[in-house]
Structure 1
Amino acid sequence: MATPLTPARLAEALRDEGVRVVEHRDWRRHSRNHKGAWGPVNGVMVHHTVTRGTAASVDLCYDGYAGLPGPLCHGVIDKSGTVHLVGGGRANHAGLGDSRVLRSVIAEVATPRPLADTTDGNARFYGFEAINLGDGRDPWPEEQVEAIVRASAALCRAHGWNERSVIAHKEWTRTKIDPRGLSMHDLRGRIGGRLGERPATLPGTSRPRPSPGAGGGRGYQPFPGAAWFHRAPRSAVVTAMGERLVAEGCSAYAVGPGPQWTDADRRSYAAWQRKLGYTGRDADGWPGAVSWRALRVPRVS
């Protein structure tokens, strides 16, 4: 079980996995949290939209419809492989399903055939709607399938799950058939393969991506936590971070860097976040775990 990612962390995890992300309208504050629990989360659920067209599908999943208000998922994956984020919390996507399936997802083992619809899946699963008519004839472009793989892997990686934490809607409840025409066996195989490796480069850069232990393993400074920076620390860690930012061409320093966290550190770190491809509030200069690992600050404590 895990605490759901914040909207900012969700977007960061997707981008770190090389996913093209579009943030739709006020998605970060758009949720059904006032209607039920959101979390603990246990996995990722894949759906098809039964629609065509990106704009109409994204708006539908954001707004919902009579009898089923939006958001209807967390992200809509279009035919070109772009993920459109539409929900920042509980979403109306999974509905009721089988508690035996949930227990298997938690244990990360093969799921049984669903029989009973007794458990609230909206509280326990992230949901991705892939644009597809679901008629068995509408194709699944490779770009779209790869985006499903990457988006699913991003959340599994963020929570430390394996590929068995990714299921189809039809594997949750006997009342659904989605995603029709997409092999979950093959999909999980690709997700598992991706979780066993790291992408070759960081998005938006030509730098090699750090290994899974980078930033916390031998030789690299573990992430001290977001709150630590907000306390304006004075530490050799800040100096080491600043020196790495300078080396990456992200300096906003007039002098230094030095051990005292200052606005120059924050502006320099914001430049690093933008170099990684982050925008808006994801590039506000406050370090996060993923961008910190990518920076590979030498261990000093």
Structure 2
Amino acid sequence: MARPLSADALVSALRAEGVTVVEHTGWRTNNRNHKGSWGPLNGVMIHHTVTSGTTSSVSLCFNGHSALPGPLCHGVIAKDGTVHLVGNGRANHAGVGDPDVLAAVSAERAKLPAPNQSTTDGNAHFYGFECVNLGDGKDPWPEAQIDAITRASAALCRAHGWSANSVIGHKEWTSAKIDPRGFTMTDLRARVAARLAKKPTGTGTGTGTTAPQYQPFPGAQWFRKNPRSAIVTAMGKRLVAVGCSAYTSGPGPQWTEADRRGYAKWQRKLGYTGASADGWPGAKSWAALKVPYSS
């Protein structure tokens, strides 16, 4: 068992292991701590997203959806091996699982029992990484992505003094899940163990950190709160660039009716009609707009 790493310590651990990290706006305070405990930590859990595309997957994992609020993990691992940090604290990723599995992970046993109970809160005890993959057994796992999963897992194990046996798949936590599908956790743990046997290869200085190319979707409700943000300005400039301006001046950082009218033009340009073209941004139309990242 271990106390959760601080946001700074988590980033440093990942960088020190040679991981390319993207810190998304608001990730350090994005959590579900008000819904339950966060820690003590016992391990790392690996998932697949059942989605394709980095931008939309990151947005989903940051915000969640109506049935399951975000964050849905701590980091999203893209096909190119970039780790996108979206949450810090309790996240809705593990759900309930088997207490016997938790006991085995805590003891760092090489063999896990088959999960047959769903009585223990995994969100309190595991870091979670969602890996972009359809999970159909056909979507490939590029070597860069597998390497990043290995490095991210090893980074947390090294930071806490855990062995590779502290890394499990969601399917090993509960019989209700099949993820990750497409590689075996036995092979992944062997890769993590091999990394832990060597010194970390990263710099730990932050030089590997990059800004995301496009702004993740802030969530539908974010716009309805009339935000004032550089994100709104960046969105407005993109609306102008794609010929959907409704501005008489601006755009500026304050969300206004002109922003909504301009966005409605963009939705109609994409083929949306009726209530789907009401000017309130949605995840798919936002991803298509390609709003530049604003810190």
TM-score (norm 2): 0.69
What letter is aligned with 2:166?
A: S
Q: Is the 8 A contact 2:98 2:115 kept in 1?
A: yes
SS at structure 2 position matched to 1:149 = helix
Deviation at 1:279, TM superposition (A): 8.8
Mapped to 2, the partners of 1:72 and 1:91 lie a distance apart of: 5
Give matches, 1:1-301, under 5 Å: 1-109=1-109, 110-199=111-200, 201-203=201-203, 273=205, 277=208
Mapped to 2, the partners of 1:198 and 1:190 lie a distance apart of: 14
What letter is aligned with 2:114?
A: R
Mapped to 1, the partners of 2:83 and 2:150 lie a distance apart of: 12
CA deviation string 1:167-209 (max 9, x = no partner)? 000000010000011111110000001001014x4438xxxxx
What letter is aligned with 1:182?
A: F
SS at structure 1 position matched to 2:47 = strand
Q: Is the 8 A contact 2:30 2:71 kept in 1?
A: yes
SS at structure 2 position matched to 1:144 = helix
RMSD: 1.5
Deviation at 1:277, TM superposition (A): 4.8
SS at structure 2 position matched to 1:189 = helix
Mapped to 2, the partners of 1:140 and 1:89 lie a distance apart of: 28
SS at structure 2 position matched to 1:122 = helix
What letter is aligned with 1:100?
A: D
Unaligned runs of 5+ in 2: 212-295
Q: Is the 8 A contact 1:12 1:278 kept in 2?
A: no
Identity fraction in percent: 65
In the TM superposition, structure 1's runs of 4+ consecutive aligned residues that sit over 2 Å from their partners are 201-204, 276-280
What letter is aligned with 1:23?
A: E
Query: How many residues are treated as equivalent by the alignment?
Result: 210
Q: Is the 8 A contact 1:98 1:117 kept in 2?
A: yes
SS at structure 2 position matched to 1:76 = strand
Mapped to 1, the partners of 2:50 and 2:11 lie a distance apart of: 25
Q: Which residue of 1 aligns with 2:250?
A: none
Q: Is the 8 A contact 2:154 2:192 kept in 1?
A: yes
Deviation at 1:8, TM superposition (A): 1.1
Unaligned runs of 5+ in 1: 205-272, 281-301
Mapped to 2, the partners of 1:278 and 1:8 lie a distance apart of: 13
What letter is aligned with 2:179?
A: D
Q: Is the 8 A contact 2:15 2:202 kept in 1?
A: no
Mapped to 1, the partners of 2:181 and 2:70 lie a distance apart of: 22
SS at structure 1 position matched to 2:124 = coil
Mapped to 2, the partners of 1:171 and 1:116 lie a distance apart of: 11
SS at structure 1 position matched to 2:137 = coil
